[in-house]
């Protein structure tokens, strides 16, 4: 266990509703990441954080926002969920010059 | 941006066989990791290998950073080795991990 927890693990929501996914770490890692995994696309970076209140976009950031108000929590928000955001979402943590560790994933279904 | 290509995309083997998975990347990287995603979706760290060779039991990995590729070797395959194997590279100058598309390995008994 790399000290990383995602919540919820599963969620079904309706189109147009806001959704927030949480990533919590107990390891004090500087960097935190949100990825989505879809068939045929592997894992694609949505947003990442390099410190408290410091975030940057990844390759598929449209429709997503993030916040990191403290070291241990990185939140991913879908302001208005769409069916194209149905996916499995993974959070990852790492420090400088160390390997990344992934959470167990959140399966999100937008109906 | 950097391109990460894995080959083959799919591999089906009998138990006991050996396999080699390849990861090519298009630009200089700071580091490289190999992951195994098991049938339950969990991503398991295999190797953190910027260069050189590492071994862990039946698995070993080699990264030749100057030639921009890495290889993952699995010997004496077992059915529990089935799943998807990903390589991910850390872009120089940024702490972003970029993933390849993965190799789906199926080991039949």
pLDDT in tens, B31-43: 999 999 999 999 9
Q: Does residue A75 contact residue A48 with C-beta atoms inside 8 Å? A: no
SS3 label, residue B23: strand
Average pLDDT of chain B is 95
Chain B contact set for A43 (CB, 8 A): 86, 88, 99
Q: What pLDDT shows up at residue B30?
A: 85
Distance between CA atoms of residues B86 and B44, nearest Å: 10
* Per-residue confidence (pLDDT) for residue A1, from 0 to 100: 56
pLDDT tens, position by position, B50-81? 999 999 999 999 999 999 999 999 999 999 99
Question: Which chain A residues are closer than 8 Å to B95 by Cβ?
Answer: 31, 48, 50, 94, 96
Chain A residues close to B101, C-beta within 8 Å:
40-42
Distance from CA of A79 to the nearest CA of B (A): 24
Instruction: Take residue B59 and report the two structure tokens written for it.
Output: 């698995």
Cα end-to-end distance, chain B, whole Å? 40
**How confident is the model at residue A2, as a pLDDT?**
67
Tell me whether residues B41 and A88 touch, CB distance under 8 A: yes
Residue A39 touches chain B, beta carbons under 8 Å: no
Q: Which residue of B29, B42, B43, B93 is the best one to mutate when testing the A interface, meaning the one whose CB has the most A CBs within 10 A?
A: B43
User: Has residue B1 got a pLDDT over 90?
Assistant: no
């Amino acid at each position: 266990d790399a000290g990383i927890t995602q919540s919820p693990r599963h969620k079904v929501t309706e189109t147009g509703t806001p959704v927030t996914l949480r990533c919590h770490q107990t390891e004090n890692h500087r960097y935190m990441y949100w990825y989505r995994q879809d068939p045929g696309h592997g894992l694609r970076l949505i947003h990442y954080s390099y410190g408290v209140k410091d975030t940057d976009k990844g390759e598929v950031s449209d429709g997503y926002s993030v916040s990191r108000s403290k070291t241990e929590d990185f939140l991913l928000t879908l302001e208005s969920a769409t069916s194209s955001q149905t996916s499995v979402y993974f959070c990852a943590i790492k420090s400088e010059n160390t390997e990344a560790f992934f959470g167990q994933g959140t399966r999100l279904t937008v109906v | 941006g950097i391109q990460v290509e894995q080959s083959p995309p799919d591999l089906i083997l009998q138990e006991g066989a050996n396999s080699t998975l390849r990861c090519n990347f298009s630009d200089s990287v700071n580091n490289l990791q190999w992951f195994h995603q098991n049938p339950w979706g969990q991503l398991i760290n295999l190797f953190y290998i910027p260069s050189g060779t590492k071994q862990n039991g039946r698995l070993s990995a080699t990264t030749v950073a100057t030639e921009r590729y890495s290889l993952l070797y699995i010997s004496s395959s077992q059915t529990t080795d089935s799943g998807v194997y990903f390589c991910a590279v850390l872009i120089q100058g940024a702490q972003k991990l970029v993933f390849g598309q993965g190799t789906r390995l199926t080991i039949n008994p």
